[in-house]
Structure 1
Amino acid sequence: MKVHLIAVGKKMPEWINTGYVEFSKRMPPELQINLIEITPSTRNKSTPIENNIKEEGERIQSAIPTNSKLIVLDEKGKIFSSIDLSRKIEGWLPMGQDIALVIGGADGIDPEIKQKADEKWSLSSFTLPHALVRVVVAEQLYRA
């Protein structure tokens, strides 16, 4: 099974890249992780935020592999413990279906992507920097 971590944002700080790579290397053969970086929309005062979200949503949609289970990280999503996540992944492994796990941009995720999601997850009731979420997700998948 492969988890496609689709994340809006490029040019992450080196410590983020180091942390992500470290956990991705530790993944077991039956659960691989693949980072797909989405270029964020150019932000300026004259462009409505909704336009940026829509543009990023189109890029996200085109990056979702066919027949993948779509999971969106959202502040209103379900919070799992590490044990709950481990059980969920154990249940998915025999099915062999890939997972597309989406981390939105600074302005959020296009509502159309959220609507298409099979599940919505939240990592925490804290607000986390988007860059850090990559490392946290990779670590939790490794731990699971």
Structure 2
Amino acid sequence: MKITLLAVGTKMPRWVDDAYADYAKRLPREVTLELREIKPEKRGSGVTAEKGIAAEHARIVAALPPRAKLVLLDERGKAWTTMQLADGLKGWLGDGQDIAIVVGGADGTSDELKARADLLLQLSAMTLPHGMVRVLLAEQIYRAVSILNGHPYHRE
């Protein structure tokens, strides 16, 4: 299974890149995690939030892997536990599906992309920095895969 994380934003602090890479390399061979950074649209000088979202939408769609299940992070999405994420990954692994997880820009994502998504997922009810989101997602994917491989989970 290949999981592609499409994240709007570039030039993250080194600690973000290091932490993300650490979790990505811990994954077993059968699960790969690839980061694709999407250039954010500059705001200001006539570029409204709507225009920015539209420009980012086009870049996200162009970067989506073909036939991948689309998971979109959204503040109104489902609030899954780690165990629910593990169950979701188990089903997707069983189906042989690759996954694309999208982290939108500062103003969110387009309604069209939300409608196209197979799953809207909430990472937190709190607002998080985009770099932190990358690290948290990589850690939760690593943890969910570890659970599927029989490693104990601290709540079980």
TM-score (normalised: structure 2):
0.90
Equivalence for 1:102: 102
Equivalence for 1:43: 43
| Counterpart code for 1:82 | T
Equivalence for 1:128: 128
- Structure 1 runs of 4+ with >2 Å offset: none
Aligned identity (percent) is 47
Structure 1 residue 70 corresponds to structure 2 residue 70? yes
Mapped to 2, the partners of 1:47 and 1:34 lie a distance apart of: 30
Deviation of residue 45 (structure 1)?
A: 4.1
The gaps in structure 1 that reach 5 residues or longer are none
Deviation of residue 98 (structure 1)?
A: 0.6
Equivalence for 1:61: 61
Is the 2:92–2:98 contact (alpha carbons within 8 Å) kept by the matching residues of 1? no
| Counterpart code for 2:20 | Y
Mapped to 2, the partners of 1:142 and 1:18 lie a distance apart of: 15
Deviation of residue 46 (structure 1)?
A: 2.0
Mapped to 2, the partners of 1:46 and 1:67 lie a distance apart of: 36
Deviation of residue 44 (structure 1)?
A: 1.1
Equivalence for 2:33: 33
**RMSD of equivalent CA atoms:** 0.8
The gaps in structure 2 that reach 5 residues or longer are 145-156
Q: Give matches, 1:11-30, under 5 Å.
A: 11-30=11-30
| Counterpart code for 2:79 | I
| Counterpart code for 1:138 | A
TM-score (normalised: structure 1):
0.97
Mapped to 1, the partners of 2:79 and 2:97 lie a distance apart of: 22
Mapped to 2, the partners of 1:23 and 1:9 lie a distance apart of: 19
SS of 1:133's equivalent in the other structure is helix
Larger Rg: 2
| Counterpart code for 2:21 | V
